[in-house]
Structure 1
Amino acid sequence: MARASTGPAYPERFYAAASYVGFAGSPDSSSSNAVVSKFNNEAALLLYALYQQATVGSCNIPKPSAWNPVEQSKWKSWSGLGNMAPAEAMRLFVKILEEEDPGWYSRADVVSDAVVDVQMNQNPKSEVVVENGHAFPETKAVSAENGVSMESQDKDVVSEGLGSISVYDQWVAPPVSGLQPKPRYEHGAAVVGEKMYVYGGNHNGRYLSDLQVLDLRAWTWSRVEVKTGAEMPEVQASIPSIPCAGHTLITWENKLLSVAGHTKDRSETIQVRVFDPQTSTWSILKTYGKSPVSRGGHTVNLVSSSLVIFGGQNANRTLLNDLHILDLETMTWDDFDAVGVPPSPRSDHAAAVHAERYLLIFGGGSHAACFNDLHVLDLQAMEWSRPIQQGDIPTPRAGHAGVTVGENWFIVGGGDNKSGASETLVLNMSTLVWSVVTSVKGRVSLASEGVSLVVGSYNGEDILVAFGGYNGRYNNEVHVLRPSHKSTLQAKMIGTPEPDNVSAVHNATNATRDLESEADAGPDGKIREIVVDNIDGEKIRSKEGGEGLRTLKKEKEELESELSRESLQNQQLKQELAEAENRNADLVKELQSVRGQLAAEQSRCFKLEVDVAELRQKLQTMEQLEKELELLRRQKAASEQAALNAKQKQGSGGVWGWLAGSPPQTENDA
Structure 2
Amino acid sequence: MTWQEVRCGGDLPDARYGHSCHLVGSRMFIVGGKGRSGQLYRDVHFLDLVDWTWVAVNATSTGPSPRFWQASVLVGHKIVVHGGWNGSNHCYEDLWVFDTDSFAWMQPRTGGLPPTARYGHAMVLLPDGRILLSGGATIDEKCVPVYHKDLRQLDTETMLWSKAKTTGGIRISSRCNHTLTSDEEGRAALLFGGWGLGGLQHHENNKRAGAVTLAACSMLPHEAVSTNLPLLRGRGEPEHKYGHTCVSVGNAFFVFGGWNGQQACNEIVVFELESG
Give the TM-score taking structure 1 as reference length: 0.36
- Alpha carbons 2:33, 2:68 under 8 Å: kept: yes
What is residue 341 of structure 1 aligned with on the other side?
113
In structure 2, the residue corresponding to 1:270 is in which secondary structure?
strand
What is residue 371 of structure 1 aligned with on the other side?
148
Going from structure 1 to structure 2, the CA distance change for 1:356 and 1:271 (only over 3 Å counts) comes to: farther
What is residue 5 of structure 2 aligned with on the other side?
223
In structure 1, the residue corresponding to 2:157 is in which secondary structure?
coil
Amino acid at match of 1:452: T
What is residue 207 of structure 2 aligned with on the other side?
none
C-alpha separation in 2, matches of 1:445 and 1:484: 18
- Alpha carbons 2:245, 2:257 under 8 Å: kept: yes
Amino acid at match of 1:418: G
Going from structure 1 to structure 2, the CA distance change for 1:470 and 1:445 (only over 3 Å counts) comes to: farther
Amino acid at match of 2:7: E
Q: 1:394 aligns with which of 157, 161, 172?
A: 172
Going from structure 1 to structure 2, the CA distance change for 1:268 and 1:365 (only over 3 Å counts) comes to: closer
What is residue 408 of structure 1 aligned with on the other side?
188
What is residue 210 of structure 2 aligned with on the other side?
none
Map 1:159-308; keep pairs closer than 5 Å. Answer: 219-227=1-9, 238-264=10-36, 270-308=42-80
What is residue 208 of structure 2 aligned with on the other side?
none
In structure 1, the residue corresponding to 2:172 is in which secondary structure?
coil
Amino acid at match of 1:404: S
C-alpha separation in 2, matches of 1:417 and 1:225: 40
Going from structure 1 to structure 2, the CA distance change for 1:445 and 1:312 (only over 3 Å counts) comes to: farther
What is residue 61 of structure 1 aligned with on the other side?
none
C-alpha separation in 1, matches of 2:134 and 2:69: 13
Going from structure 1 to structure 2, the CA distance change for 1:433 and 1:394 (only over 3 Å counts) comes to: same
Corresponding position: 1:450 with 2:243: yes
In structure 1, the residue corresponding to 2:229 is in which secondary structure?
strand
Q: Please report how far the alpha carbon of residue 466 of structure 1 lies from its aligned counterpart in structure 2 after TM superposition.
A: 0.4
Corresponding position: 1:357 with 2:136: no
C-alpha separation in 2, matches of 1:463 and 1:222: 21
Q: Please report how far the alpha carbon of residue 354 of structure 1 lies from its aligned counterpart in structure 2 after TM superposition.
A: 1.5
- Alpha carbons 2:231, 2:273 under 8 Å: kept: no
Map 1:243-642; keep pairs closer than 5 Å. Answer: 243-264=15-36, 270-355=42-127, 357-367=129-139, 368-391=145-168, 392-405=170-183, 406-422=186-202, 423-430=213-220, 431-437=224-230, 446-457=239-250, 462-472=251-261, 473-485=263-275
C-alpha separation in 2, matches of 1:341 and 1:349: 17
In structure 2, the residue corresponding to 1:346 is in which secondary structure?
coil
Q: Please report how far the alpha carbon of residue 301 of structure 1 lies from its aligned counterpart in structure 2 after TM superposition.
A: 1.2
- Percent identity over the alignment is 22
C-alpha separation in 2, matches of 1:307 and 1:345: 19
C-alpha separation in 2, matches of 1:308 and 1:464: 22
Amino acid at match of 1:478: I
What is residue 209 of structure 2 aligned with on the other side?
none
- Alpha carbons 2:26, 2:50 under 8 Å: kept: no
Query: Greater helix percent: which structure?
Result: 1
- Deviation string, structure 1 residues 49-70 (Cα, Å, up to 9, x no partner): xxxxxxxxxxxxxxxxxxxxxx
C-alpha separation in 1, matches of 2:231 and 2:84: 29
Amino acid at match of 1:400: H
- Alpha carbons 2:58, 2:103 under 8 Å: kept: yes
Could you tell me which runs of 5 or more consecutive residues in structure 1 were left unpaired when the two chains were aligned.
1-218, 228-237, 487-670
C-alpha separation in 2, matches of 1:269 and 1:456: 30
Q: Please report how far the alpha carbon of residue 278 of structure 1 lies from its aligned counterpart in structure 2 after TM superposition.
A: 2.1
Q: Please report how far the alpha carbon of residue 266 of structure 1 lies from its aligned counterpart in structure 2 after TM superposition.
A: 6.6
- Alpha carbons 1:415, 1:447 under 8 Å: kept: no
C-alpha separation in 2, matches of 1:380 and 1:337: 12
Residue correspondences, number: 250
- Alpha carbons 1:446, 1:469 under 8 Å: kept: no
- Alpha carbons 1:424, 1:437 under 8 Å: kept: no
Structure number with higher relative contact order (C-alpha < 8 Å, ≥ 6 residues apart): 2
Going from structure 1 to structure 2, the CA distance change for 1:485 and 1:438 (only over 3 Å counts) comes to: closer
Amino acid at match of 1:476: N
- Deviation string, structure 1 residues 345-403 (Cα, Å, up to 9, x no partner): 11111101123621111111123321110101111111111132221121111110121
C-alpha separation in 2, matches of 1:307 and 1:418: 33
Going from structure 1 to structure 2, the CA distance change for 1:291 and 1:266 (only over 3 Å counts) comes to: farther
Amino acid at match of 1:224: V
- Alpha carbons 1:352, 1:402 under 8 Å: kept: yes
Q: Please report how far the alpha carbon of residue 267 of structure 1 lies from its aligned counterpart in structure 2 after TM superposition.
A: 6.5
Q: Please report how far the alpha carbon of residue 226 of structure 1 lies from its aligned counterpart in structure 2 after TM superposition.
A: 1.8
Amino acid at match of 1:482: E
Q: Please report how far the alpha carbon of residue 343 of structure 1 lies from its aligned counterpart in structure 2 after TM superposition.
A: 0.6
- Alpha carbons 2:40, 2:68 under 8 Å: kept: no
Map 1:147-166; keep pairs closer than 5 Å. Answer: none
C-alpha separation in 2, matches of 1:255 and 1:291: 20
Structure with max Cα Rg: 1
Query: Greater strand percent: which structure?
Result: 2
- Alpha carbons 1:445, 1:469 under 8 Å: kept: no
Amino acid at match of 2:258: G
Q: Please report how far the alpha carbon of residue 415 of structure 1 lies from its aligned counterpart in structure 2 after TM superposition.
A: 2.0
Give the TM-score taking structure 2 as reference length: 0.83
Going from structure 1 to structure 2, the CA distance change for 1:241 and 1:404 (only over 3 Å counts) comes to: same
In structure 1, the residue corresponding to 2:194 is in which secondary structure?
strand
Q: Please report how far the alpha carbon of residue 407 of structure 1 lies from its aligned counterpart in structure 2 after TM superposition.
A: 3.8
- Alpha carbons 1:375, 1:386 under 8 Å: kept: yes
Could you tell me which runs of 5 or more consecutive residues in structure 2 were left unpaired when the two chains were aligned.
140-144, 203-212
C-alpha separation in 2, matches of 1:266 and 1:356: 39
